[in-house]
Amino acid sequence: MLTQEVAMRTPGQSNIEMCIQCGTCGGSCPSGSAMDHTPRAVFALMRAGMRDAVLKSNMPWMCVSCYCCTVRCPQDIHITDVMYTLKNMALEAGTIQDEIASDFSKAFIRYVENYGRSFEIGLAGIHSLTHMRLAARLPNMVPMAIRMLTKKGMLPLPPKRIKGIDDLKKILKRAKSMEAA
Amino acid sequence: MSDYIFYPGCSMESSAKAYYDSVMAVSKPLGISLKEIDDWNCCGATEYLSLDRMPAYSLIARNLALAERQAADTRTVVAPCSACYLNLSKTDHYMGEDKAFGEKINEALAAGGLHYSPGELVVRHLLDVVLNDVGLDAVKAKVVRPLTGLRVVPYVGCMLPRPDYGKRYSDTERPTELDDLMRALGAEVVDFPLKTACCGGHMTQIGPDTAFELIRRLVSSAVGCKADVMVALCPMCQMNLDAFQSQMNGHFHADYRMPVLFFTQLMGLAFGEKPEKLGFGSEFVSAREAMSRIGVATPQPVVEGAAARPRKAAGLPMPPPRVTARQSTGKD
């Protein structure tokens, strides 16, 4: 069962099977307008076992992790955490339709895995170059980048590498092997 | 001086330097000593959890393990960033609630010679420490330059009051802690209906149109509430509302100019610290005019203001009325 599989992969007691289809989640969602399905619909699809439709939906990827639905859910379902699980599963299944969100996450984490720290300005630059309609965004992006450098003193250099990067890499490698198991 | 273990988070060293500087400046008058976790790493924000949960939680848990090893006089970890705060407390919470999960994370940590015992540390946001450890009376006693007459929007954002594993805040949607603190500093506090509405988070990168609408909602509401300034307590919120305000203006053919500061910057001013020490001048939308209302001269930003000129960008066809913070107030 798809719901059980998702519940298994979500830490804690996520209460997925408790959904009563009330729609409070969708009505509370600040990024709902960017989604193909509402969270409520995704829960219905999950319960119907429609794996492909669930894992192809952009709904979890457009989630901004505001936890509004989670605290309002009358059934105490950990909706935001369930969305993280669905994103993990969609990546594994290779079903993502629009890769802008997952590519952003990957670019963010690439720095973290190699330096132990994130790298905001480099990340924003690289991500924009590969994904935004550049001609439309550039007139706004350039002045913003310049002000990031001048006002905030942010340098376009990679972040400082943590001392324990080798140990961190071992930890992450071990953790990744668990998820695959 | 009370000791705390400090987890600054990546933004504090780059885009939110003003936050870092002002936190450091107010820590002394508040009587709190912040000891940084040695060799801490990024918490992964919301991005790593989206990709792969086991390494994501292990990444966060490494910080908890390092903090536990370092803990001597205190078990409290203070994070000034809401996302870092949530990630650290979420990991502690789930490792404790879900024993099998906690053991797996520790198995991963063991590969790097580390271990974390869930529940060993208490993760708290700086606001919580200021309110509940220092206390409002002690804060009031330190105020030498009250923010009298400054209309402040207390913008809390999402990840501090929600999901609130430790039940530390008064409400998940209308918490009053930041209001109380701003009032203690002498500010006039706006009862802001969107105080925990989303700032757009990472949507600025993956769905700008959605982000711009969320930013517009907050900024225009603040202007409608006749606020002089918004205060934030999270680097992401501050960045979205401040740095992206001019892009949002471009998108909607609007001309909002609402300064967005960190709550510690205003606290520092009220404590009589010099604006230069508090990171003033690094905001995109200048707070100079707002601060002049309380007789404080903040540094002139290096590059002035927002690119206000509306362009024929790919925005919406119907512009909202052009208003700025003060044109619409009809007071003073």
Model pLDDT for residues B62-103, shown as the tens digit of each residue: 999 999 999 888 999 999 999 999 999 999 999 999 999 999
Query: What are the phi and psi torsion angles at B309 (to 5°)?
Result: -60, 115
pLDDT the model gives residue B32:
97
- Least confidently predicted of A52-61, A136-145, B169-178, B184-193: A136-145
Mutation pick from B43, B167, B173, B206 vs chain A, by most beta carbons of A within 10 Å, is B206
DSSP state for residue B131 in the 8-state scheme? I
Compute how many other C-beta atoms are within 10 angstroms of the C-beta atom of residue A151. 18
Mean pLDDT to the nearest integer, A22-26: 98
Judged by CB atoms closer than 8 Å, whether chains meet at B57 and A11 is answered as: yes
pLDDT the model gives residue B305:
46
The residues facing B79 across adjacent strands are B125
Total number of domains constituting chain A: 2
Q: Which of residues 49-108 of A touch B (CB under 8 A)?
A: 61-62, 64-68, 70-71, 78, 80, 84-85, 87-88, 91, 100-102, 104-106, 108
Mean pLDDT to the nearest integer, B104-119: 98
Residue of chain B with shortest Cα separation from A154: B14
pLDDT the model gives residue A159:
80
- Least confidently predicted of A145-154, B145-154, B180-189, B265-274: A145-154
Identify the CA nearest to B262 among candidates B284, B244, B247, B280. Answer: B280
Among B53, B164, B313, beta carbon nearest to A84: B53
Judged by CB atoms closer than 8 Å, whether chains meet at B48 and A104 is answered as: no
% of chain A residues with pLDDT over 90: 74
**Claim to verify: residue A68 and residue A119 sit in the same structural domain:** no
Among B17, B101, B214, beta carbon nearest to A30: B214
Cβ-Cβ contacts under 8 Å for B178 (sequence gap 6 or more): B127, B154, B155, B156, B195, B231, B233, B263
**Claim to verify: residue A134 and residue A106 sit in the same structural domain:** yes
Which residues does chain B have within 8 Å of residue A87's beta carbon, measured at their own beta carbons?
50-51
Judged by CB atoms closer than 8 Å, whether chains meet at A65 and B197 is answered as: no
Judged by CB atoms closer than 8 Å, whether chains meet at A172 and B114 is answered as: no
Q: Are residues B139 and B146 in contact, defined by beta-carbon separation less than 8 angstroms?
A: no
- Give the CATH number for residue A46: 1.10.1060.10
pLDDT the model gives residue A73:
98
At B228, the pLDDT band (50, 70, 90 cuts) reads very high
Does the pLDDT of residue B316 top 80, yes or no?
Answer: no
In a domain, A133, yes or no: yes
Judged by CB atoms closer than 8 Å, whether chains meet at A171 and B112 is answered as: yes
pLDDT the model gives residue A145:
78
**Claim to verify: residue A87 and residue A105 sit in the same structural domain:** no
Q: Does A143 touch chain B (CB under 8 A)?
A: yes
Domain that holds residue A141: 100-159
Query: What are the phi and psi torsion angles at B318 (to 5°)?
Result: -100, 105
In a domain, A111, yes or no: yes
Which residues does chain B have within 8 Å of residue A153's beta carbon, measured at their own beta carbons?
17, 282
Judged by CB atoms closer than 8 Å, whether chains meet at B247 and A140 is answered as: yes
Among A11, A139, A148, beta carbon nearest to B98: A11
Compute how many other C-beta atoms are within 10 angstroms of the C-beta atom of residue A131. 18
**Claim to verify: residue A87 and residue A140 sit in the same structural domain:** no
**Claim to verify: residue A75 and residue A126 sit in the same structural domain:** no
Predicted confidence (pLDDT) per residue in B8-58, tens digit: 999 998 889 999 999 999 999 999 999 999 999 999 999 999 999 999 999
Does the pLDDT of residue B331 top 50, yes or no?
Answer: no
pLDDT the model gives residue B303:
55
Does the pLDDT of residue B159 top 70, yes or no?
Answer: yes
In a domain, A178, yes or no: no
Mutation pick from A140, A146, A179 vs chain B, by most beta carbons of B within 10 Å, is A140
pLDDT the model gives residue B36:
97
Residue of chain A with shortest Cα separation from B40: A162
Going from the N-terminus, what domains does chain B have, and what CATH number goes with each? 2-126 (1.20.1050.140), 136-292 (3.40.50.11810)
Among B51, B112, B213, beta carbon nearest to A91: B51
Q: Are residues B225 and B325 in contact, defined by beta-carbon separation less than 8 angstroms?
A: no
Judged by CB atoms closer than 8 Å, whether chains meet at A147 and B243 is answered as: yes
Q: How high is the mean pLDDT of chain B? A: 92
Compute how many other C-beta atoms are within 10 angstroms of the C-beta atom of residue B108. 25
Residue of chain B with shortest Cα separation from A86: B50
pLDDT the model gives residue A141:
72
How far is B141 from chain A, CA to nearest CA, in Å?
32
**Claim to verify: residue A48 and residue A87 sit in the same structural domain:** yes
**Claim to verify: residue A87 and residue A6 sit in the same structural domain:** yes
The residues facing B261 across adjacent strands are B231
How far is B96 from chain A, CA to nearest CA, in Å?
9
How far is B291 from chain A, CA to nearest CA, in Å?
18
> pTM for the full model?
0.91
Instruction: Give the domain-ending residue among A44, A70, A93.
Output: A93
Mean pLDDT to the nearest integer, A48-56: 97
How far is B114 from chain A, CA to nearest CA, in Å?
9
In a domain, A176, yes or no: no
Does the pLDDT of residue B319 top 50, yes or no?
Answer: yes
In a domain, A177, yes or no: no
**Claim to verify: residue A64 and residue A114 sit in the same structural domain:** no
Compute how many other C-beta atoms are within 10 angstroms of the C-beta atom of residue B34. 19
**Claim to verify: residue A39 and residue A121 sit in the same structural domain:** no
How far is A48 from chain B, CA to nearest CA, in Å?
23
Judged by CB atoms closer than 8 Å, whether chains meet at B163 and A70 is answered as: yes
In a domain, A171, yes or no: no
How far is B330 from chain A, CA to nearest CA, in Å?
32
pLDDT the model gives residue A152:
73
% of chain B residues with pLDDT over 90: 86
**Claim to verify: residue A69 and residue A107 sit in the same structural domain:** no
In a domain, A179, yes or no: no
Instruction: Give the domain-ending residue among A93, A120, A138.
Output: A93
Per-residue burial over A104-128, b if 16 or more Cβ lie within 10 Å, else e, is bbbbbbebbbebbbbbbbbbbebbb
ipTM over 0.90: yes
For residue B36, the SS3 value is strand
At B123, the pLDDT band (50, 70, 90 cuts) reads very high
Q: Does A170 touch chain B (CB under 8 A)?
A: yes
Residue of chain A with shortest Cα separation from B171: A71
Cβ-Cβ contacts under 8 Å for A40 (sequence gap 6 or more): A19, A21, A22, A23, A25, A26
Omega of the bond prior to B235 within 30 degrees of 0, cis?
Answer: no
Judged by CB atoms closer than 8 Å, whether chains meet at B47 and A87 is answered as: no
At A25, the pLDDT band (50, 70, 90 cuts) reads very high
At B332, the pLDDT band (50, 70, 90 cuts) reads very low
**Claim to verify: residue A33 and residue A106 sit in the same structural domain:** no
In a domain, A29, yes or no: yes
Instruction: Give the domain-ending residue among A36, A59, A93.
Output: A93
**Claim to verify: residue A56 and residue A108 sit in the same structural domain:** no
Does the pLDDT of residue B320 top 80, yes or no?
Answer: no
Which residues does chain A have within 8 Å of residue B209's beta carbon, measured at their own beta carbons?
34
Give the 3-state DSSP-derived string for chain A, with helices as H, strands as E and coil as C: CHHHHHHHCCCCCCCHHHCCCCCHHHHHCCCHHHCCCCHHHHHHHHHCCCHHHHHHCCHHHHCCCCCHHHHHCCCCCCHHHHHHHHHHHHHHHCCCCCCHHHHHHHHHHHHHHHHCCCCHHHHHHHHHHHHCCHHHHHHHHHHHHHHHHHHCCCCCCCCCCCCCHHHHHHHHHHHHHHHHC
The residues facing B188 across adjacent strands are B151
pLDDT the model gives residue A142:
76
Which residues does chain B have within 8 Å of residue A148's beta carbon, measured at their own beta carbons?
15, 243
How far is A95 from chain B, CA to nearest CA, in Å?
13
